[in-house]
Structure 1
Amino acid sequence: MSGTPYSGTYVALSGGVGGAKLALGLSRLLGPALSVVVNTGDDFDHLGLRICPDIDSVLYKLAGLSDEQRGWGRAGETWNFMQALAGLGGESWFQLGDRDLALHVERTRLLRQGETLTEVTAHIARQLGVASHILPMSDDPVSTEIDSSEGRLPFQRYFVEHQCRPVLHGLHYAGARVARLSDAVARALQAPDLRGIIICPSNPYLSIDPILAMPAFLKALQAADVPVVAVSPIIANAAVKGPTAKIMRELGVTPSSLTVAQHYRGLIDGLVIDSSDHAESDAISLPVLQTPTLMKTAEDSERVARAALELCARLAGEARKVAP
């Protein structure tokens, strides 16, 4: 943690790789005053193990263990297990590295002993030396499903096996409407010293909407009397990484920060956008803060985190606004 003082606590909503980058910057500034609520719509059972890709991306990033060259997974990885599995004719479309496998095995063991996903994630975070609170969005299962040109696909089949090639027609978040709020997430959103809620630059449709699709979560978020700020995942009408821009086009919307503001209409009070998109500022009827939002280093992540926190501070005490 870099040591810049911020009063109060903050909650961030995050998906995997892109959101984890901002979560890192926020964690370096806030430490245990930060709670990161992570999408679990990507979670699934594979090879008898419970896999939580977005939670693991955030854990590895904040623990300094993520593979920066590959962009996902754990650094220093080897692949002996997958090679041996493929040699036996097993399913090898979803890659599990040897080091990464240890986390999935331990998580599955603890879940089978009766611990909740929140408890298991907190245990792993402590073991990895992560100071901030990493919170699954719910302990109840929620599954993102894709209506596509190849039919309805479970998220990982669409995202990993098919590499997002099918045309996306719609999304479903099975289980979201009945998913309960965990005590840990409720405490974070209802904390008396809560100062702001930050939506990380994750894919709005695949990573953030599954969280917002839970009525219990949305109700608690809207009841929190603090600024809600989003960081746009779009830079110059394109996504830095992943299928965000492709999905937006297939859903019939223009990839832009203005579209992001419209998507979060009625929820956010301000938006952080990349400096290259300054021409869009006038069209966004919300307070906008411009800064370079490309995050390649930990210092970049801190810069964007500072911008989000600055916008929260600026908006504190103001009336909630409605996005265009």
Structure 2
Amino acid sequence: MYLSMNTIPVRVVAAKTIAEGIRLLRLAPLDGSLLPAWEPGSHIDLHLGEGITRQYSLCGSYADTSVYEVAVKREVESRGGSEFVHESLHVGSELSISAPRNHFKMSTESGHSLLVAGGIGITPIISMARLLHDQAHSFELLYFTRSETHAAFRDELDGGPLGDSCQLLFGQDRDAVETTLDDALRHRREGAHLYLCGPQAFMDTVRMVAARHGWPDDAVHLEYFAAGVASDTEPQTSFDVRLARSDRTFTIPVDRTIVDVLREHGTEIETSCEQGICGTCVVNVLEGSPEHRDYFLTAKEHERGDCMAICVSRSRSKLLVIDL
């Protein structure tokens, strides 16, 4: 995986378990300087060695840039990232991180905010809740977890400063989740915005209920933290990609991605998640019809077809010309 040279060396200065299977890391720069400022919804890349780069939402105090905090859930089917964080990073461990990026920005409007988190999806949501609380803006937070022991930041969300605006919802099955969401989303306040983060199936349910009750697309903001798997029924064919700046053309086989082929031929593409979530690899499309498989671009951007995430998306046309 390509690593940007613009990284920040940090040291783990605290590490603790904050819920079942969730580990919180506090990271401080090696040189003692302040870290770049960030806004709620931001994430950073953790470069974990041996080509492993993973994205995690910042979940500490946005006002304190002496350290960053990330909370990582240990995944049963880990691709190496969460296992490394839980097993190999301890107080004193050194690693590199990226500067913060924010693809999950809050609206500048000051209307009511409804925050919805599922499981580890609480990590970007809690920093939004803190900001709204600090600015005395109206908000409500719904936090769905498997059980009480799986709820991160519980002291803060249950009886703490955010408790008055937060509902903790434990162990609900899909039907119960949908009923709870139905009640919460049925009557949208004028100008209200919805922010949601969690597993794909959970997110799909929230979006479905929001659409059912007429929430406009531009009032629904979301971030997936793991991509789904493309359907086995999706057609998989080879196609050609032409790089407009160098006028070179490459064939993309059925079993390889655009990024893989371009790297093999000496064109480095900066990536992070390689699951179509983060948007790092998005390029402009000058000719052709992308087959979008990402979770980053909006439905309108998919429809326009003038950009694509080349880590996962493919082509419906025989030729794609991209701005590289």
With the shorter chain as reference, the TM-score category is 0.3 to 0.5
Structure number with the bigger relative contact order (C-alpha 8 A, sep ≥ 6) is 1
Instruction: Specify which structure has the higher proportion of helix.
Output: 1
Instruction: Specify which structure has the higher proportion of strand.
Output: 2
* TM-score using structure 2 length: 0.34
* TM-score using structure 1 length: 0.34
Higher Cα Rg, which structure: 2
